[in-house]
Amino acid sequence: MHSVQLPSVSNFYRSVLYIGTVLFGLLGMNSAFAQSLPENYEFALGVTYEMSSGKNGNLKKGEQMGMWFSNQPYTGMEVPKQKGFFMVMDLKDQKMVTLMTDQKMAMVMDLKKMQEKMKGQVKEENPSDVKITKTGKSETILGYKCDQYLIETSDGQSLVWITTELGSGMGNLAKSLSSILSSGPKPVGLPSMKGIENGVLMRLESTDKKSGNSTRIEAVNVNKDGKKFPTAGYNVMAMPGM
């Protein structure tokens, strides 16, 4: 784990949009990189998280990020104030799909290739170096009972609050967040969630021992109505080299 300032997710979105627009203009709709999408992306639960970061306990609120959980092996993501974008982390096919709704465009990135390019920029913990302990403490967040866990690594420690009252999705969320944040302009590593994959994350507080940098992710809204995202009419292509 390496806790640093969280990158701006909306800036990452804007970079993807710019690249996508340029590529579509240069390559056109007959691009050799064209790919297909499933007919629909379906999600059963949405949770909006507020992300904060700072140093020595002085945290500054940053972006809000909406995460959508599915019964399928993918997770959806959106930034509420950044309209016209929806991102899907397909863990089965190891693809990140960015849907630009206004332009009816979709950019597909290969997560394996992205992670290979970022290799070495984010420290990876050996599973044997990660200790996860259920503290026995609990707290109610947004009306849901959450159990607290302590995650300790060589670099620092994290406290996470997990609820099982909203179903499962923790494993997919952890993998999706890790892929997104480690692939952005300023790579960030999150603590391993192995062993607490069941349930839904409601709060995470992480502190780096050496730098004093802290990260906080907390649920501020829960949507149990679900979301269905049709992909008909989208022009789809993969990013060259991705």
- In the chain, the amino acid numbered 87 is M
pLDDT of residue 72: 85
Query: Mean per-residue pLDDT for 196-203?
Result: 81
The distance in angstroms from the start CA to the end CA of the chain is 26
The tokens for 105 are 């465009």
Distance from C-alpha of 121 to C-alpha of 186, rounded to nearest angstrom: 9
Is 163 in contact with 200 (CB distance < 8 Å)?
yes
Residue 83: band (very low, low, confident or very high) from pLDDT cuts 50, 70, 90: confident
Query: Mean per-residue pLDDT for 68-85?
Result: 85
The yes-or-no verdict on residue 240 having pLDDT over 60 is no
62 in helix, strand or coil?
strand
The yes-or-no verdict on residue 7 having pLDDT over 50 is no
pLDDT in tens, 170-196: 555 555 555 554 444 444 444 555 556
Pick the range with the lowest mean pLDDT from 125-134, 144-153, 207-216.
125-134
pLDDT of residue 236: 86
Residue 91: band (very low, low, confident or very high) from pLDDT cuts 50, 70, 90: confident
pLDDT in tens, 15-41: 444 444 443 443 344 343 446 788 999
pLDDT of residue 142: 97
Residue 82: band (very low, low, confident or very high) from pLDDT cuts 50, 70, 90: confident
pTM over 0.85: no
Q: What is the DSSP code string of 170-211?
A: HHHHHHHHHHHHHSSSS--B----TT--SSEEEEEEEEETTT
Task: Output the average pLDDT for the chain.
Answer: 74
119's CB contacts (< 8 A; 6+ apart) are none
Is 210 in contact with 29 (CB distance < 8 Å)?
no
**Strands (E) located in the chain:** 40-43, 45-55, 58-69, 74-78, 85-90, 95-100, 105-110, 131-141, 144-152, 156-163, 200-208, 213-223, 227-230, 235-238
The yes-or-no verdict on residue 226 having pLDDT over 70 is yes
pLDDT of residue 32: 37
